[in-house]
Amino acid sequence: MAILATYEKLGLEPTAKPKGQFEREYNQIRNRLINSGKFRSTDRNLNRTILTEIGEYPSWDGEVYKMSQGVARPESKRDASQKKSIDKRNQILTEADELMTAAGYGKLVKKGKRNFKKQDRSGGMALDHEYETQEFGADYERLKKNFAAGVISENKFKQDLNKIVNKNPGNIDSNLTLKTETENYDKNVRTRAVIKNKNLREKYKVRDASYTKKMAAFTKSLNKVNLLSGVHAYAKQFLEGQRQGYDTSYVPKNGNGNGKVNGNGNGNGNGKKIVLNGNKTNNYRGLSALIETPNDWSDPLLMTPRFRTLDKSIDVSL
């Protein structure tokens, strides 16, 4: 009941007005304050200013409510919704930082996270992500879904992943810029418009029957979460391998192929190739085996054991 303590601290009393009447009065004051230019819709003190003018806080049938964009919601549901939103944002940032670390920018990621955490917000300025967390989250989620559903090729997945990484997502130091609250708000508005336009383009793209069928099957899958987690694990391994001069390929073990590690040394660059062996029940999560197959011509790697792993957390069990 933390919000109740805040209401009481402001000297507010529980409202005697019906919920609809309270919301109408709240929104009339809210619109007046925003239109006057004194407040933006995202200003932290806007809600307190409105409630102070009303002199009451939202409460009905013994339950305390919170106001969210002019709508009264029970505190318990509002808190749960907020927690879900925060957890989602944290997950997106974690994935972004993991990608950038795998790509070789771990020190800059740590530096950015440290600066973001310790920043002084008292001067009206705060660090903001240039490649916004919401936009990266939408871009990367779309890419993972397309690959998991099988509607894009592995090469297309790698190309688009590199494009995303080149934008420096997450907390990497180069993605953080000091902005005023107004600048940050204006950028958020533009970002929401960008995401909306991207979603609309995806929605109205001309698709063939194969795409529709594959996406429908993926959407109905009970294994979506594990599939997307597996794609992220593969993305990290690809970036790690690419950084070390390896081409990383995924060979699913789904009954249609032999499910064996079958690198032939025809990878990009120096010919070194890593093949990830899948798992029957989860094609993208089963990153259980890595094999390095050098070319037959003179290669220093021929003097080393044939089985190596780029990630010590991956169990090598052939």
Q: For the ranges 10-14, 22-26, 107-111, 260-264, which has the lowest average pLDDT?
A: 260-264
Q: pLDDT tens for residues 74-115?
A: 887 766 777 888 899 999 999 999 999 999 999 999 999 999
Best CA proximity match to 306, nearest among 288, 291, 287: 291
User: Which pLDDT does position 270 carry in this prediction?
Assistant: 42
Share of the chain above pLDDT 90, in %: 48
Phi, psi of 71 (to 5 degrees): -115, 135
Q: What percent of the chain clears pLDDT 70, i.e. is strictly above it?
A: 77
What residues contact residue 209 under an 8 Å CB cut-off, 6+ apart?
none
Residues 242-247, mean pLDDT to the nearest whole number: 88
Rounded Cα gap, residues 263 and 314, in angstroms: 18
CB 94 within 8 A of CB 51: no
- pLDDT tier for residue 2 given thresholds of 50, 70 and 90: low
CA–CA separation, 133 vs 138, rounded Å?
A: 9
DSSP code of residue 301: G
Provide the 3-class DSSP secondary structure of residue 59.
Answer: strand
Q: Is the pLDDT of residue 137 over 50?
A: yes
Q: Report which of residues 293 and 244 the model is more confident about.
A: 244
The rounded distance, in Å, linking the Cα atoms of 22 and 71 is 10
Per-residue pLDDT at 225: 87
pLDDT tens digits, residue range 260-280? 333 333 333 344 445 554 433
pTM (2 decimals)? 0.65
Between CA 272 and CA 263 the distance in angstroms is 9
CA distance 128 to 180: 9
Band of pLDDT at residue 288, cut at 50, 70 and 90: very low
Look at 36-45, 155-164, 200-209, 215-224 and tell me which has the smallest mean pLDDT.
36-45
Within 13 Å of residue 237, how many CA atoms lie on the same side as its CB? Answer: 29
**Sorting pLDDT into bands at 50, 70 and 90, what band is 285?**
very low
Residue spans of alpha helices (H) in the chain: 2-9, 19-35, 46-54, 75-100, 106-118, 133-149, 154-165, 181-203, 209-220, 224-243
Which tens digit of pLDDT belongs to each residue from 194-213? 999 998 988 888 888 999 99
Q: What is the pLDDT of residues 219-238, one digit of tens each?
A: 888 788 888 998 999 999 99
Q: Please, are residues 308 and 283 in contact by the beta-carbon 8 Å criterion?
A: no
- Ranking 171-175, 185-189, 216-220, 306-310 by mean pLDDT, the lowest is 306-310
Query: Which of the pair, 84 or 217, is modelled with greater confidence?
Result: 217
Which H or E element spans position 277? strand 273-277
Structure confidence at residue 156 (pLDDT): 96
pLDDT of res. 251: 63
Q: With left for phi above 0 and alpha for psi between -120 and 50, is residue 28 left, alpha or beta? A: alpha
Q: In DSSP terms, which residues pair with 66 in a beta bridge?
A: 73
pLDDT recorded at residue 222: 79
Averaged confidence pLDDT in the chain: 79
* Residue type, position 67, single letter: M
Mean pLDDT, range 32-48, rounded to an integer? 86
User: Residue 10 above 80 pLDDT?
Assistant: yes
